[in-house]
Amino acid sequence: MVLERYASAIQACNACAVATETCAAACLKEADVQSMALCISCDLDCAALCRLAVKLMARDSPLVDEVCRLCALACQACAEECGKHKHEHCQQCAQACLRCVEECESLAKGA
C-alpha cells in the first residue's frame, strides 16, 4: 500500500502541524505577543506546509518530493525560531519540527 511508504513522514508531519498550531495559539497568549510575531508566523507556515505534505502523500502525488523539501525548510526555520524561546510550547514545537525535518528530508531523498 502507498501509505506504508509515507507512514512515518505522515505521522511526523501531523504531529508537527499540531505542535505548531498549539505553539502559535500559546504565543498569542504570551504577555509580549509582539516579541513572538516571528515565531507565530513560522508556526503557521510550518503547519500549512505539513498539512499540504500529508495531503499529497495520502494521494501519492508526483509533487511529494518537492513539497517535502519545502516542508523541511519551513520546519527547520520554525525549529530555529522556536528554539530561541524558553517557553515550553516553543521547545516542544522545535522538537516536533526537527523530527519532521528528518522525515521529510529522508523521504525527499528517496531513502
Residue 105 burial (CB count, 10 A): 18
pTM score, two decimals?
0.94
Give the tens place of pLDDT for each residue, 20-75: 999 999 999 999 999 999 999 999 999 999 999 999 999 999 999 999 999 999 99
Residue 88 burial (CB count, 10 A): 10
Contact 20, 93 (CB under 8 A): yes
pLDDT interval class at 19 (50, 70, 90): very high
Domains of the chain: 2-108 (1.20.1270.360)
pLDDT of amino acid 1? 58
Residue 84 has pLDDT above 80, yes or no: yes
Range 83-90 average pLDDT: 96
pLDDT interval class at 108 (50, 70, 90): confident
Residue 2 has pLDDT above 70, yes or no: no
pLDDT of amino acid 109? 80
User: Exposure of 60 by Cβ count < 10 A (0-12 exposed, 13-18 middle, 19+ buried)?
Assistant: exposed
